[in-house]
A and B are shown apart, each in its own frame.
With several copies, the nearest count.
Chain A
Amino acid sequence: MKYATTIDGKEYIVEIIDERHVSVDGKVIEVDFESIEEQPVFSLIVDGKSYESYVYRTEEDLEVLVKGRLYHAQVEDERERRLRAASGGAVAQSGPFQLKAPMPGLVVAVPVSEGQEVKEGDVLLILESMKMQNELKSPRDGVVGRIHVGAGDSVEQRQKMLSVE
């Protein structure tokens, strides 16, 4: 199976040949890969070098932590890739941005109002959690859509709070 793996913008074609071999951009490499006890912790030995890695799955990508550095990885298998190519290449990147609560907490303030124009980096909402006030910012320019919460509201993790269109 071949996987197109993009690490921080650069693409690598990784083919899984068998349990002990992969190829990266056509170069065959012997690998010794172990998952450590039901955890997202992996041990990889390549060419004698020992790497330990954590892998986190987020909504957008896989985050791979190796030797204290975090790599953002997108992995597509061949079939997904063909489908995407057939559909014209571009994945739908637009649509409204939904601001969800990254953790349970208390809404301290919503310094924007519905219909207001915002720029990337503008503070949309202040959420208090773990005794800290956290400023949640807009990831892009746009117009504030529906606001579902107000100052003083308690929110659950992942609860939709507002959108930017």
Chain B
Amino acid sequence: MFNKVLIANRGEIAVRILRACRELGLKTVAVYSEADRQAMHVRYATEAYLLGPAPSNESYLKGDKIIEIALQSGAGAIHPGYGFLAERADFAQAVEDAGLEFIGPKPSAIAAMGDKAIARETMMKAGVSVVPGTEGTGNLSDEELLKLAPEIGFPLLIKATAGGGGKGMREVKSLDEMPVALQSARREAKAAFGDDNVYLEKLILGARHIEVQIVADKHGNVVHLNERECSLQRRHQKLLEESPSPIMDEELRAKMGEVAVQAAKAVHYESAGTIECLVDSDKNFYFLEMNTRLQVEHPITELVTGVDIVKEQIRIARGRKLSFTQADVKINGAAIECRVNAEDPYNNFMPSTGKISHMVLPTGPGIRVDTGVYAGFEITPYYDSMISKLIVWGETRAQAILRMRRALEEYKIVGVRTNIPFHQAMMDSHRFMGGQFDTRFVEEEFSLEEIAEGKETFPEVAAIIAALVTHDQTERAAHVVRRGDRDTSNWKWLSRWERLSK
């Protein structure tokens, strides 16, 4: 049985997994790119090895090199996190072939669920509804897809066969739009996954995106850990998740949970996984895909069930049986996660890079922050813009929302722009508070400006601050010129200010 784990990832999820290993008394091996020498996961691990230059395909995607490092360092297992190599059956197979434990499902399960078409077929055979589309028909040409589209009906979605995270996805309202959309979807899919195959899927309007977490051991025991509500998305990227879902009732939860367990059993699933579904306004649900890995939003499930999903993954990989049964799984209170991205919500969510010069984390009761950054760390353009996750727990959903409000107000990140103001507006949105939203809410009906309307404003305060800041800077600049640069503190202040203001 292994007692040293290599974490084949970076950022908050690498740190999350390192922590779980620590708490289980396991040694850890980090791998890193040249851009990440000062990253938290490198500083934090027992051992750390350089993979290569910053771009992912020269570092975090180098499966062979990672396996080599694992073998040389004596790590007995590899945890892939999410993204990068997490859903690559060939990597999982190579890990197994090297005599190492892959902390995740078997390669066959990844392969079965990784190709969306095969996945949908598998699910239909298991008696689960899927969204109408071109599933199971192999890799179709543009011509074939254009012919099939009217049969499915509009609006519809073009989705990457190898895809995930909204990449290579396009929405199409009519046949006219299709040729252009197909071209750009294929281009994006090619860039993201090295595979430009796409398929079509009916777009269900008013749908909620709800997923069920499952955990399965090597002994055939599968338990579901209830649902997560993930409808709040922008460009098919989740922004905010909660558990339980405000639309869920016990009957639907039991039904979806049962289906999720069946799906996992159908592919002899092991470790943690997620069944993603769309739920329409009549509470019919359709299978979308299975994520054969740890999910970004796993912490909300941890907070309401008390199960540490990452530790459970490690225990399962070590051959242990699940320590709980379906009957033991309860829902305690409510949890919300806000993904904190280095993006400017006032400028069309444009990614923001730079050095985090100052950071104050929200702390206190019911707050969890999963992060891989710290004050002094440089956000580079090479990786995902998600820099941390703010997760809160409350006795009730209302308490969780109030707590999230205060946590967001406490969270200070200076040096890069973040989407914290977006989340603040969301917490003030009546539609969100009422639980009335679908997957299109953020893009089509939500506006930062509208939420701000009717709220108390402080233009005079802003005017005073703007004038005082300008005045201070002018004075300090004059002061520095007069006194020369002996006056350290002012000089430093100004220099730092100038750097920050660039």
Contact = CB atoms under 8 A, between A and B. Distances in A.
B108 interface: no
Contacts of A65: 421
B496 interface: yes
B376 A37 contact: yes
A153 to B, nearest CB: 14
Interface string A71-91: 101010100000000000000
20 contacts: A7-B462, A12-B467, A31-B464, A38-B376, A39-B414, A40-B469, A40-B497, A40-B500, A46-B464, A48-B47, A50-B48, A54-B414, A56-B500, A69-B455, A71-B458, A103-B351, A104-B353, A104-B381, A130-B381, A134-B348
Given A39-B376, A48-B49, A54-B414, A131 B464 contact: no
B18 to A, nearest CB: 11
B314 interface: no
A53 B115 CA distance: 46
Interface of B: 29-30, 37-38, 42-49, 73, 167, 188, 191-192, 235, 342, 346-348, 350-353, 357-358, 375-377, 381-385, 408-409, 412, 414, 417, 421, 424-425, 452, 455-472, 474, 492-493, 496-497, 500-501
Interface in A51-72: 51-57, 62-71
A42 B38 CA distance: 10
A50 B470 CA distance: 20
A130 B351 contact: yes
Given A22-B467, A39-B358, A75-B467, 19 more contacts: A14-B466, A14-B467, A22-B464, A24-B464, A31-B464, A38-B493, A44-B465, A49-B46, A50-B47, A52-B43, A53-B461, A54-B414, A102-B347, A102-B350, A103-B351, A103-B353, A129-B351, A132-B235, A132-B385
Tell me what chain A mostly uses at the interface: helix, strand, loop, or mixed: strand
B492 A38 contact: yes
A12 to B, nearest CB: 4
Given A10-B459, A36-B376, A77-B470, A68 B424 contact: yes
A14 B358 CA distance: 29
Interface residues of A, number: 64
Interface in A88-131: 102-105, 108, 128-131
A130 B385 contact: yes
A70 B192 CA distance: 34
Contacts of B347: 102
Contacts of A63: 346
Contacts of B460: 12, 24
Contacts of B37: 32, 34, 43
B462 A73 contact: yes
Given A39-B358, A40-B414, A14 B464 contact: yes
B471 to A, nearest CB: 5
Given A52-B43, A129-B381, A42 B469 contact: yes
A66 B466 CA distance: 11
A46 B43 contact: no
Interface string A1-39: 101010110101010100000101000010111111111
B138 to A, nearest CB: 28
A14 B471 CA distance: 10
B375 A37 contact: yes
Nearest to A133: B188
B13 to A, nearest CB: 15
A41 interface: yes
A143 B449 CA distance: 31
A50 B465 contact: no
A43 B38 contact: yes
A108 to B, nearest CB: 8
Nearest to B356: A37
B49 to A, nearest CB: 6
B470 A3 contact: yes
Contacts of A38: 376, 492-493, 496
